Amino acid sequence: MKIKVKEILEQKCLTIRQAAELCGVPKSTIGDICDGASPRLDTLEKIAQGLGLHITDLFDSPYK
């Protein structure tokens, strides 16, 4: 299952810095997730909320 944070930021024309400010998550954490790191669930919840998405929108999975 792939985390789509990088793709979502590109679609919304947001930089990692802008996303970090919106989500209240360090930019290094968002950068790591964009590079393929496995994030904690609470971090994904913050990102989803900050970007106005459902947490399931962050996953590329046929089982939504």
Q: In the chain, where are the structural domains located? A: 2-58
Q: State how far the Cα of 3 lies from the Cα of 56, in Å rounded to an integer.
A: 10
pTM for the whole structure: 0.90
Residues sharing a CB contact under 8 Å with residue 38, sequence separation 6 or more, in sequence order: 3
Q: Which CATH number among 2.60.40.10, 3.30.930.10, 3.30.460.10, 1.10.260.40 corresponds to the domain 2-58?
A: 1.10.260.40
Q: What is the pLDDT along the chain (64 residues), one digit of tens a residue?
A: 789 999 999 999 999 999 999 999 999 999 999 999 999 999 999 999 999 999 999 999 877 6
The predicted pLDDT at position 64 comes to 61
Beta strand pairing status for 2-3 and 59-60? antiparallel
| DSSP β-bridge partners for residue 59 | 3
> Sign (positive/negative) of CA torsion 28, 30, 34, 40?
positive
What is the rounded CA–CA span in Å between residue 37 and residue 54? 20
